[in-house]
Each structure stands twice: as C-alpha cells, then as structure tokens.
Amino acid sequence: MVTYGAADTITLGTGDITLLSTGTATASISVTGSGTTSRTVTLSGISGDGTLGISIGAGSASDAAGNTATSAGPSASFTVGALSIAVNMGTPLTVTRSGPIDYVVTYNNAVSVTLSTGDITLMKTGTADATVLVTGSGTVTRTVTLSGVTGDGTLGIAIAAGTATGGDHVVYSADGDEDGPDSGDDRV
C-alpha cells in the first residue's frame, strides 16, 4: 500500500514504479485504488529466484498548489522462489549377499519432500533382487533401504521426478530440474 499525505490528486501508475530485482526474479506490476490517500501496488506473475522490491518515481501525486510527491523507496524486499532443489544420494560401496544396503538421499532447498517406495526404481543386473523401503520425514533426508538381497549381480536405485517441492511450489525432478521426468542420471 502506498499512502499519500495531503494529496489532492494521485496519478500513480505502473510507469511510475520501478521493479527492483536480484537474480532471475521478475513480476508484473499493477496499481489499483481511488481517492486521495492511497493506492495498492500488486506484484503478480512472480517467477525466478532472487529478491523483489519497488521504488516509486517523483510526481505520482500533487496538491492544489501544484506541489508534487517526491520519489519513494526502495521498499522492503522479499525473497522469490527457492534455489533449485538439489538431490544428493550417497553411494554405498557394499558387497553383500543379503543386505541391508542404505542410500541416504539429501534434499537441499525443499519445502516438502514426498519420496516414497513407489518413487524408487530398483536398477538390477543378473539375478540380483531386493525389497525397497523408504524411511524418514522432514524436508532434508530420506533413507532408501534395500533388504532381503538375493541372487548375483548389481543393484542400484533411480528416483522418479516430482519427489520434492520448492518454495516456488514447483515440483522438481530428482536431478533438480523443473522440466519433467528424471533422465536416470541419479542411478547409484
């Protein structure tokens, strides 16, 4: 909200407002309201990562004597989005006949994590097989456990896309991208 004191006319429009941004943060600006005391400046279509704020140019209001408003700002800024979610999986160096084998999956910059057993694809060669279980809570780590290991060969895992949401409410894939299914690069 932009408040004016002693204004007789307010002409504040989007052209009077400068968007102050860092990183890739951006938004559309609109101005609403009527009367001689205030206007509401709305930032919409917010995207990217960084910070946003505004400043207002001089002359956006005047009084009956012809005096014009001075410039104002910068406003307080706010953080936009979240940095891309990074997913890191520890690679266990285990030779086993029965297991268990634990993979620690760490999410950085996630607001929510929904990784479950159904999101894990067991990558196997030969006759190797195992049972998959995901445990943990919160927004940082999950443990993927392979137990009941049988057969001969190798085992690994791949994580499906959409197992975490960033601060921008975008669902990210296992490789930290927001553009669709994981390419399988996260096999361990």
The DSSP result for 110-135, as a single string, is: -SEE---GGGEEEEE-TT-EEEEEEE
Structure tokens given for 181: 């299914």
State the Rg of the chain over Cα.
26
Question: Alpha-carbon dihedral of residues 9, 13, 16, 19, nearest 10 degrees?
Answer: 140
On whether the pTM is more than 0.85, the answer is no
Q: What is the mean pLDDT of residues 104-123?
A: 86
pLDDT at position 94:
62
Q: Round to whole Å and give the CA distance between 77 and 19.
A: 10
More confident residue, 182 or 149: 149
- Which is it for the CA torsion 143, 147, 151, 152, positive or negative? positive
Residue 182 burial (C-beta neighbours within 10 Å; 0-12, 13-18, 19+) = buried
User: In this predicted model, what pLDDT tens digit does every residue of 62-71 receive, in sequence order?
Assistant: 999 999 999 9
Distance of CA 141 to the CA centre of its chain: 17
